[in-house]
Structure 1
Amino acid sequence: MTQTPPTVVTPQWLHDRLGEPDLVVVDATNHLPSPADGRSGPESGLETYRPEHIPGALFADLLGDFADPDSDEPWTAPDHERFAAAAGALGIGEGATVVVYDQGGAYWATRFWWHLRYEGFDDVTVLDGGLPAWKAAGYEVTDVVPEPTPRTFTGTRRPGLIRSTEEVAAAVDDEKTVLVNVLDEANYRGDVDTYGRPGHIPGSINFPVARLRDPATGTLRPIEELRREFRDAGLLDEDTTVVTYCGGGIAATGVAQALALAGREDVAVYDGSMTAWSRDPDLPLVTGDAPR
């Protein structure tokens, strides 16, 4: 494949290209803590990948090889060398085209999309609707785990696509920075306390990531509709810097990817998000709706 793929692709687009030598399909699923499923903490999606995945798909462990082992947060971006080694081992490198998906609607695929772009790799796209959309289209799944063909990963980091806690704190009073909380309205307002302290970072607006998708299909809503909503929220103003955040830096990448589809490819993600921010009692949080 020689052309950079679109930012999202359909199951048919992927099905028509399965087996091409430079195509690398990646399942990037993780699982959040869920008492109903017996999960007390975040877990790799490897055990759910093995019995059922798209033919030829490899597994990217966002909690392991693609995370900083010394961080207090589970999905913190590692140093470039660690990421490059893990990506190259999966066959991601010069000449490869990557299609990433996940097993549900939790934005693991967009997290890996964002991470590859942060590390300087652009030939990556996301399967719209993930594995459920693939199966709904009638395409087969398999339990055969393929062997990757390693490549050398090259790329130069783009520091503008990530923010640290210190950088976000310094930008709270910056009129040219728009902080976007992508959690649901109850978390944004502080009606619930999910991350140790309720509320949102001062000055941030709320654009829930759930607004991006059609609830019936799990696929993205028409981009023209989203573009209008982004414009109304002030997120397409070229004179501003947009930084998205959520609970742990995952869902924030969903809005970053949708904004890229709308023409805004410079959106930064606060990697630690509310998990990191709420841990420091000296960092302010406010409750209630955003000022109008």
Structure 2
Amino acid sequence: MPDVPRYAHPEAIVTTEWLAANLADPALRIFDCTTYLHYETGTGRPYRVEAAIADYRAAHIPGSAFLDLPGELSDTASPFAFTMPAPDDLAARCAAKGIGAGTRVVLYARKSPQWATRVWWMLRAIGFDDAAVLDGGWDAWAAEGRPAEAGETRYPPATLAARPRPGLFVGKAEMRAAIGDAATCSINALSPELHRGENDRYGRAGRIPGSVNLPAAALLEAGTLRLKPPAAAAESFAAIGADPSKRILLYCGGGIAATLDAFVLHQLGYRDIAVYDASMSEWAKDASLPVETG
């Protein structure tokens, strides 16, 4: 097992204990980022997207606001559900929600941390580094009997200037160019059956040729939504050939689960990581792009 005693960027992970002790910090901006995917057949789309605003209004971490990822933080003109907006556009949208200079942002989600890591990765892509993910999310907070409140919180607008980091998101051209490239490791963060091509949820069943599989859920402790210890996570990536010297390209169904893999890789010290934003929602529907199964 690789000797990885701690994550490389612990400031980007906060515990429920830390958050409970710091709720009164006036610089803190806490956001529920949850989105639900309702899998339906016969609709011609992989899932129906629902921002979890109703659950947030019913109960949330005290003082936290809500981020409507598909509605407020995605390019709704795109044919794909979660397309990253242009950097300046995203910065303006985040500033309107209260994210900006002098704020410390904590992101959490329900049922999967992938919604929080998606927003974290987007913020990193526009140069905002004062954000962290709540380990265990709402589920851990609630299970521990910590306080909750109903209703809705809104933060005052802030000022946020985009400082884009090119290369944190890629498109289908980069993914296609990586096929057969020994210096690149393409990783599918979807479930094993989707990777093997046993489900045609996104169109043509299968995966991007040559890609390997590390489901986002495999990076979480069994029975919880907390991240696995660093050594266990490092072992999982090493087992699929994700060498730190390689460029790592991550994809999934719509660029969400892939960000959990990306977040953990960043924590493990990998430096050349990118997420394919449209992922299989685009790739599987483009007949000019190859897929493989098995």
- The TM-score with structure 1 as length reference comes to 0.92
What whole-Å deviation, never above 9, does each CA across 1:85-118 have from its counterpart, x for those lacking one? 1110111111111100011116101100111001
**1:159 is aligned to 2:166:** yes
- Give the percent of matched residue pairs that are identical in Structure 1 and Structure 2: 41
Tell me, in whole angstroms, the C-alpha distance in 2 between the residues paired with 1:264 and 1:119: 19
**1:7 is aligned to 2:7:** no
Task: Give the counterpart of 1:46 among 47, 50, 53.
Answer: 53
Task: Give the counterpart of 2:204 among 189, 197, 201.
Answer: 197
Unpaired runs of at least 5, structure 1: none
Tell me, in whole angstroms, the C-alpha distance in 2 between the residues paired with 1:257 and 1:218: 14
What is the CA distance between 1:40 and its match in structure 2? 6.5
- 2:219 maps to 212
Distance 1:241 1:109, change over 3 A: same
Q: Which amino acid aligns with 2:131?
A: V
CA contact (8 A) 1:65 1:82 kept: no
- The TM-score with structure 2 as length reference comes to 0.91
Task: Give the counterpart of 1:16 among 6, 17, 21.
Answer: 21
C-alpha RMSD over aligned residues: 1.8
CA contact (8 A) 2:136 2:225 kept: yes
Task: Give the counterpart of 1:30 among 32, 35, 40.
Answer: 35
* 3-state SS of 1:255 partner: helix
- 2:282 maps to 276
CA contact (8 A) 2:190 2:216 kept: yes
Q: Which amino acid aligns with 2:32?
A: D
**1:48-87 map, 5 Å:** 48-87=55-94
CA contact (8 A) 1:99 1:127 kept: yes
**1:94 is aligned to 2:71:** no
* 3-state SS of 1:14 partner: helix
Distance 1:40 1:282, change over 3 A: closer
Tell me, in whole angstroms, the C-alpha distance in 2 between the residues paired with 1:211 and 1:40: 22
**1:97-176 map, 5 Å:** 97-105=104-112, 107-176=114-183
Tell me, in whole angstroms, the C-alpha distance in 2 between the residues paired with 1:192 and 1:40: 13
Tell me, in whole angstroms, the C-alpha distance in 1 between the residues paired with 2:165 and 2:90: 14
Q: Which amino acid aligns with 1:133?
A: A
What is the CA distance between 1:137 and its match in structure 2? 1.8
Distance 1:53 1:260, change over 3 A: same
* 3-state SS of 1:180 partner: strand
Higher relative contact order (CA 8 A, sep 6+): 2
* 3-state SS of 2:69 partner: coil
What whole-Å deviation, never above 9, does each CA across 1:219-277 have from its counterpart, x for those lacking one? 11111111122223332422x10011001100000100111121124311000001110
Pick which of 104-113 and 21-30 moved more: 104-113
CA contact (8 A) 1:55 1:144 kept: no
What is the CA distance between 1:34 and its match in structure 2? 4.1
Tell me, in whole angstroms, the C-alpha distance in 2 between the residues paired with 1:269 and 1:40: 20
Tell me, in whole angstroms, the C-alpha distance in 2 between the residues paired with 1:5 and 1:203: 32
Tell me, in whole angstroms, the C-alpha distance in 2 between the residues paired with 1:97 and 1:155: 16
Unpaired runs of at least 5, structure 2: 1-8
Equivalent pairs counted in the alignment come to 282
Tell me, in whole angstroms, the C-alpha distance in 1 between the residues paired with 2:127 and 2:272: 13
